[in-house]
Structure 1
Amino acid sequence: MFVRIVKMSFHLENIPAFLENFELVKTHIRNAPGNRFLELYQDKNNPQILFTYSYWDTEEDLENYRKSALFDEVWTFTKKLFNDKPEAWSVDKLVTLE
């Protein structure tokens, strides 16, 4: 399992549209094969910056999602709302404390 972190920066006036669309698609993304966890965060100091944080079983699962019609629909809608290039990281979780 690994973690995918995506940083997105939006025009402030586009955030409500993004959040409305995310509400519609979040369950579908979470239920994509291999997805084990999905959260959305908003930066406390700059509300124009949002992050998705997701757990995937394998890199192949993430790539299959990225090649899916669902991803194409979500990304086509979302990328029009950005004010900067998105950034993404795939990371291995080393330690968890609960």
Structure 2
Amino acid sequence: MFVRIVKMSFDENHISDFLENFNLNKEQIRNFEGCRFLELYRDKTNTNIFFTYSYWNTEADLEAYRHSNLFKNVWSKTKPLFNAKPEAWSVEKLDSLQ
């Protein structure tokens, strides 16, 4: 399994635009081939900082999404809203306790 974490920071006046765009597209992202899980988090202290957390079957699946029209559409609407450069990590899950 391939895990992707993306940190995004927005101007306060763009948060509702980001959330609206995310909510319009989250089902399509989650149902994109190879995506097994998708969550959105918001920092409790700095409420303009958000994280997406997604599971992908393979790195190739994530790359297919990143080159898709869906991603291009979502990103073209998200990118202008940032107030800092987004950060992304691709990580390997080593352990999980429930």
The reply to whether TM is greater than 0.5 is yes
Q: What's the counterpart of residue 78 of structure 1? A: 78
1:89 positional shift: 0.2
1:38 maps to: 38
Q: How does 1:54-69 map to 2 (within 5 A)?
A: 54-69=54-69
| 2:23 counterpart letter in structure 1 | E
Cα shift at 1:2 = 1.4
How much identity, in percent, do the aligned residues show?
Answer: 66
Deviations 1:37-62 (A, max 9, x none): 00000000100100000000000000
- Per-residue deviation, 1:96: 0.3
- Unaligned segments of structure 1, at least 5 residues: none
How far 1:95 sits from its partner (Å)?
0.6
Unaligned runs of at least 5 residues, structure 2: none
Secondary structure class of the residue paired with 1:15: helix
| Aligned residues: CA RMSD | 0.4
Which residue of 1 is the match for residue 22 of structure 2?
Answer: 22
Q: In 1, distance between residues paired with 2:76 and 2:21?
A: 12
CA distance in 2, matches of 1:88, 1:20: 21
Structure 1 Cα separation of the partners of residues 68 and 92 of structure 2: 24
Q: For 1:67, give the aligned amino acid.
A: H
What stretches of structure 1 move > 3 A for 4+ residues in a row? none
Does the alignment pair 1:51 with 2:45? no
2:11 counterpart residue number: 11
- TM-score, normalising length from structure 1? 0.99
Any idea what SS the aligned residue of 1:32 has?
coil
Deviations 1:47-81 (A, max 9, x none): 01000000000000000000000000000000000
